[in-house]
């Protein structure tokens, strides 16, 4: 696999690959050396300056923009405005690099910027401010520049008092009652602030000691995977190289599975997403050997293929007790078709590809896939999110011991009306009615995301740009778009995302990592609180989790074992300039609600119990209620632990837990269980076991990453 990945790097070094600025600069230099046409030279200089920005060479880009600006007559306002906007952005980003990157702290780039987030070296921001003011003097309606001007003033400590009144954008805070207490970024304390470009994240227990570990990947084929082993004492050890993962590169998204039912979680790595013809990189299946090491078994298992992708879902689609995998491949417009793939587990360490026969060889620009039993018939279905605008629901119509078969029921389900481009997605039961709903995030834009943030701030309509969509299951095979009804008709532009219960009220909240590759897009990541399954509240500002840098894979997990789910996010964008430190937002505890953690083990069903359905019934303030969960890793970009964390509100005991196992459909019932503990349930066993974990300290400076494997 290492040789295959090295061979794949050659596709990156191509001037036609928009994600390879080095090749673009080389091409521009050749044009500048050989062409005497002034217009051609100007275009080449513009491209070179943009490529330098993408590489983080802001001052070199500024110098080029200044030379270009000096040559443009003052009467040519449109051309001057265009160059000035690029130059202002270069100064803006220079300020970020000098402060948020080179002098990073826990409050860097957290919107609204204040306290420790204010820049010590204000030079870059102050120069950006002067340029944005000049731009807006000529074009007061420039919402992109207005948004970035306000952010720049925040970085200097001049917001709001120094912002010219006609350009001031007020901070919107839906959480006016401050229902959510602020989280704290402790990634640097723990040595978990690994800096690289966009990539994937898994939080789960890979060595079966009950303490969750962290595995990371990077989109870049030159950046290695990282594996941080939880030492169960408030520290982590970097075992990347000793595990074998540190010698593998690339991976925009990663997820856990147990393909061979040996009780040790394996890793699936997806590569090539967004790169089109340059993204025919191999995915990887990494077998967990149970001794702290992983072995690449991609070729041996039959999963080796070369298609651009970043999304997949593992589930037992034929109910034989072994996990299969559906891979959403990306077919770019005008390029060779890259159909989705369905690999059925042969129960012997190998897989057979059957997508065409099964009716699920979808050919679209697929950006998110998720699986779940939306119609409660005991068969796992598939939902697909695409950049073509199609939202595709595949109903599993397989028969026992027969061939696996899917039917496209998108139209019948009411999901085919809106052709808005979308990205991350998931099945979940947001209202706890026992039926899976669908959330999918829009990714429609024609301008920088800063423009849309500015438009939303002044309440200008933006259509479907970057909107969130929530489809409620109507229990009859159809879905209702309840986005506006629940207050989610917001601008977000989500990439990485996932869900969890931040306040243990039993209702699932979610966090979105936002952004796009454009360097002018500086918008906050967003956290939404579920208000009793009726509506959602944007609590980003109160929670202090609105990082303005590009956000990718998200994982919810209670890493310090205090009973409250924390949020880990893989930060960083598509270019070297957008490499950024990851964040671990520590949940301070929002209230005195109770919780229970459930770890399931299948015997007839797959070993890690993916697809098992959980119903927890309890009395919350004398009112009986139930919470429903499906065992999976959450959203389509970022992986939660397979252990299910379930909030219980004010309940002091659990009346009943019902587990529906995926293969047999049998329901296992346990009554009168304790709260605030970890429970293990094995399929077929009449008794459960409980265990306690040590409460860990992630605040003290003595903690952190205790050992690093050298590279």
Question: What is residue 701's predicted lDDT score, i.e. its pLDDT?
Answer: 61
List residues bridging with 270 in a β-sheet.
253
Is-contact 490 457, C-beta < 8 A?
Answer: no
Q: How many residues does the chain have?
A: 711
Question: What is residue 10's predicted lDDT score, i.e. its pLDDT?
Answer: 60
Is-contact 326 341, C-beta < 8 A?
Answer: yes
For residue 637, the SS3 value is: strand
Is-contact 597 680, C-beta < 8 A?
Answer: no
Spatial separation of the C-alpha atoms in residues 471 and 331, rounded to whole Å: 26
Spatial separation of the C-alpha atoms in residues 135 and 154, rounded to whole Å: 19
Q: How many CB atoms sit inside 10 A of residue 78's CB?
A: 9
- Residue that has been written with the tokens 């100007």 in this structure: 42
Question: What is residue 16's predicted lDDT score, i.e. its pLDDT?
Answer: 76
CA angle 422–423–428, rounded 5-degree value: 100
Is-contact 21 220, C-beta < 8 A?
Answer: no
For residue 216, the SS3 value is: strand
Q: Environment class of residue 162 by beta-carbon count within 10 Å: exposed (0-12), middle (13-18) or buried (19+)?
A: exposed
Enumerate residue ranges in the chain where pLDDT < 50. Answer: 709-711
Among candidate residues 312, 434, 319, 449, the one with its CA nearest the CA of residue 382: 312
How far, in Å, are 346, 502, 530, 650 from residue 511 at the CA level? 36, 10, 11, 24
Question: What is residue 336's predicted lDDT score, i.e. its pLDDT?
Answer: 94
Give me the sheet containing 667-673, strands edge to edge.
623-630, 613-620, 654-660, 667-673
């Amino acid at each position: 696999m290492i040789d295959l990945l090295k061979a794949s790097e050659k596709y990156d070094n191509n001037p036609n690959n928009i994600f390879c600025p080095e090749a673009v600069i080389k091409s521009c230099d050749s044009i500048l050396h050989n062409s005497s046409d002034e217009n051609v030279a100007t275009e080449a200089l513009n491209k070179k300056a943009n490529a330098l920005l993408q590489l983080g060479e802001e001052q070199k880009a500024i110098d080029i923009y200044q030379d270009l600006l000096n040559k443009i007559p003052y009467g040519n306002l449109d051309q001057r405005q265009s160059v000035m906007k690029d130059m202002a952005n270069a100064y803006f980003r220079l300020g970020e690099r000098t402060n948020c990157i080179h002098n990073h702290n826990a409050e860097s780039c957290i919107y609204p910027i204040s306290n420790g987030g204010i820049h010590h070296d204000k030079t870059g921001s102050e120069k950006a401010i002067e340029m944005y003011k000049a731009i807006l003097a000529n074009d007061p309606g420039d919402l992109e520049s207005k948004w970035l001007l306000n952010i720049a003033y925040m970085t200097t400590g001049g917001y709001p008092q120094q912002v010219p009144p006609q350009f001031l954008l007020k901070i919107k805070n839906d959480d006016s009652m401050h229902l959510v207490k602020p989280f704290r970024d402790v990634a640097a304390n723990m040595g978990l602030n690994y800096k690289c470009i966009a990539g994937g994240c898994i939080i789960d227990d890979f060595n079966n000691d009950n303490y969750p570990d962290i595995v990371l990947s990077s989109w870049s084929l030159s950046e290695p995977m990282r594996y941080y082993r939880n030492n169960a004492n408030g520290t982590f050890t970097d075992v990347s190289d000793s595990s074998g993962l540190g010698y593998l590169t690339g991976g925009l998204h990663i997820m856990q599975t147990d393909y061979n039912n040996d009780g040790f979680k394996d890793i699936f790595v997806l590569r090539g997403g967004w790169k089109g013809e340059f993204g025919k990189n191999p995915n990887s299946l990494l077998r967990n050997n149970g001794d702290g090491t992983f072995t690449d078994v991609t070729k041996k298992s039959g999963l080796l293929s070369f298609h651009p992708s970043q999304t997949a879902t593992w589930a037992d689609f034929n109910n034989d007790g072994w996990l299969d995998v559906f891979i959403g491949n990306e077919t770019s417009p005008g390029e060779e078709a890259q159909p989705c793939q369905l690999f059925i587990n042969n129960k012997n360490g190998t897989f057979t590809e059957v997508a065409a026969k099964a009716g699920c060889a979808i050919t679209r620009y697929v950006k998110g896939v998720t699986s779940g039993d939306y119609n409660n018939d005991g068969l796992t279905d598939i939902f697909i999110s695409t950049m073509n605008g199609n939202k595709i629901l595949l109903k599993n119509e397989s028969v026992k011991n027969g061939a696996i078969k899917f039917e496209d029921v998108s139209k019948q389900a009411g999901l085919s009306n809106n052709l808005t481009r979308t990205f991350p997605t998931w099945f979940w039961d947001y209202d706890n009615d026992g039926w899976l709903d669908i959330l999918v995030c829009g990714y429609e834009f024609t301008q920088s995301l800063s423009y849309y943030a500015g438009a939303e701030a002044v309440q200008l309509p933006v259509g479907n740009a970057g909107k969130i969509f929530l489809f409620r299951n109507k229990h009859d095979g159809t879905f209702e778009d309840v986005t506006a009804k629940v207050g989610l008709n917001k601008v977000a532009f989500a990439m990485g995302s996932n869900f969890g219960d931040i306040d243990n009220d039993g209702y699932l909240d979610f966090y979105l990592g936002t952004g796009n590759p454009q360097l002018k897009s500086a918008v906050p990541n967003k956290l939404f609180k579920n208000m009793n399954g009726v509506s959602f509240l944007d609590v980003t500002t109160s929670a202090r989790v609105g990082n303005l840098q590009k956000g990718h894979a998200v994982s919810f997990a209670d890493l310090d074992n205090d009973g409250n789910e924390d949020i880990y996010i893989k930060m960083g964008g598509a270019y070297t300039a957008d490499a950024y430190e990851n964040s671990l937002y520590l949940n301070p505890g929002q209230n005195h609600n109770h919780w229970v953690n459930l770890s399931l083990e299948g015997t007839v069903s797959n070993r890690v119990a993916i697809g098992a359905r959980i119903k927890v019934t309890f009395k919350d303030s004398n009112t009986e209620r139930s919470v429903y969960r499906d065992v999976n890793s959450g959203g389509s970009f970022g992986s939660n632990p397979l252990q299910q964390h379930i909030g219980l509100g004010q309940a002091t005991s659990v009346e009943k837990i019902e587990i529906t196992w995926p293969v047999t459909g049998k329901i296992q019932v346990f009554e009168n269980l304790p709260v605030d503990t970890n429970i293990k349930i094995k399929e077929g066993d009449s008794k459960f076991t409980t265990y306690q974990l040590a409460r860990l300290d992630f605040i003290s400076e003595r903690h952190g990453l205790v050992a690093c494997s050298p590279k």
